[in-house]
Amino acid sequence: MYLGFIITEDDYECEDKFICGSYEDSKEYPNLPKLIIGMSLANDISNDETDIIDRVLSDGSFWTFKKIEQRKYYTEDLENFKQYCYDKLLEDYEYEFIDPLMCTPEDNKANFRDIKNRGNIITYHSKDMVYLCVGGKVYGINLMFYQYIGTDKDSMIAKLKKISIVFLTEEDIIIEYKDYMERFDNQARYIPYLYSIINHVK
């Protein structure tokens, strides 16, 4: 899955999650954020509407100088563009922490019934936490809290595996999600949400 398109006339080695090419090539990816490298090229594409201060052409389209033109701005703008593309993945992200100690037994049952009925569940288990993504929203649950209300941790995990279409563990994501996690401060709660986007699970 590509996150952004870098428009350049020069040879440029793109990272795995980005694609490089000409302006004409970029038209095949209309929904991707775009960064144009080179002031002359940006002027040609934008009909001389470039702004050398903020270097924003439109919503989701940016430009920067070539490295030989302005190394400082080139480096900063390229990094900012990449972070923008990663952050765009999370623009619809929602998170809710469920605290069973603050709920009645009836409320706890109702919460899980509601989650189960919302659709396909993707679960990520990390230490004492589980994160369930369903319908584009992530629910965080501390398994240790359930032990205080008489629910065994292993029993809880078994139930979650049963209702999940995907059950991920730390071993499953170390390599595949490394780049994403570095961009998102290694916050584990994003993993099932990213999985749903990358694998087109609704």
Domain segments of the chain as ranges: 4-88, 94-198
> How far apart, in whole angstroms, are the C-alpha atoms of residue 122 and residue 133?
5
Residue 79 confidence (pLDDT):
94
> Which letter does DSSP use for residue 102 in this model?
G
Q: What is the pLDDT of residues 156-197, one digit of tens each?
A: 899 899 999 999 988 777 677 888 888 898 899 999 999 999
Segment among 34-43, 94-103, 104-113, 117-126 with least mean pLDDT: 104-113
Q: What is the pLDDT of residues 140-154, one digit of tens each?
A: 999 888 777 777 888
CA dihedral angle for residue 137, residue 140, residue 143, residue 144, rounded to 10 degrees: -160
Q: What is 120-176 written as a DSSP string?
A: --EEEEETTEEEEEETTEEEEEEHHHHHTTT--HHHHHHHHHHH-SEEEEHHHHTTT
CA end-to-end distance (rounded Å), the chain: 16
Residue 172 confidence (pLDDT):
72
User: Among residues 11, 40, 175, 28, which one has the least CA distance to residue 20?
Assistant: 11
